[in-house]
Amino acid sequence: MSELSPRQRISNRKGKLVRRFQDHRSHQISIMSDPKKLLCLVSVGCHDRTQSSNQNKARDWLACRKVPHTIIDGNDPEQREERNKLFEISGIRGNYPQFFFELQDGTINFFGRFEKIDTLNETNGLPPEVLAQHPELETWDKIFGSVVKSFA
C-alpha cells in the first residue's frame, strides 16, 4: 500500500478546495441568472444622516435603472416580522439599507449593504474592453438583469 507524499496530499487538498470554490461560484452565477425579486430593507424616517443618504442614493439608482424592487420599511411596526427575518438572514441589525434576493422557491439570500450597490455603480461606467478582460467583475446588468417584480 503506497502512501501519498506530503506534496501530493497538499496538491489533493488544494484541488478539492479549488473544485469546491468553482462549484460555489457556479452556483452563485446560476443564482444571479435565475429570476429573482430584489428586496430593499430601509428605515423610513432614519435619523442617521449617512444611512438616510445611502438609502436615498440606492433607491434613486434602482429607479433610474428601472430595477424592480420591493421596499421593506424596518421602522414600520406592521413590517416588523419581515424586518426581523431579514436581520436574521443578514446578521446585521439596525444598519440600512440592506439588499436581499428572493428566489422562486421562497429562499431569501442576503446580497449586501449599500457599499455593494455603490461598487456596482462604480463598475457600471467601466469601458467594455476592461469588463471583457475582467469577467469576475460584478456589474448592474449581471446582478440585476434577471430581477423581476413578481413571479408570474
pLDDT value for 73:
97
* Measured CA angle at 54 (ends 136, 41), to 5 deg: 85
Report how far residue 101's alpha carbon sits from residue 121's, in angstroms, rounded to the nearest whole number: 18
Q: Cell digits for 63?
A: 429607479
pLDDT value for 27:
45
Predicted confidence pLDDT, tens digits, the chain (152 residues): 456 666 665 566 656 655 555 554 444 544 567 899 999 999 998 889 999 999 999 999 999 999 999 999 999 999 999 999 999 999 999 899 999 999 999 999 999 999 999 999 888 888 989 888 988 888 888 899 999 998 87
**pTM score, whole prediction:** 0.77
Closest CA to 148 of 60, 61, 32, 36: 36
pLDDT value for 5:
65
137 secondary structure, DSSP code: S
Spatial contact of 39 and 101, defined as CB atoms under 8 Å apart: yes
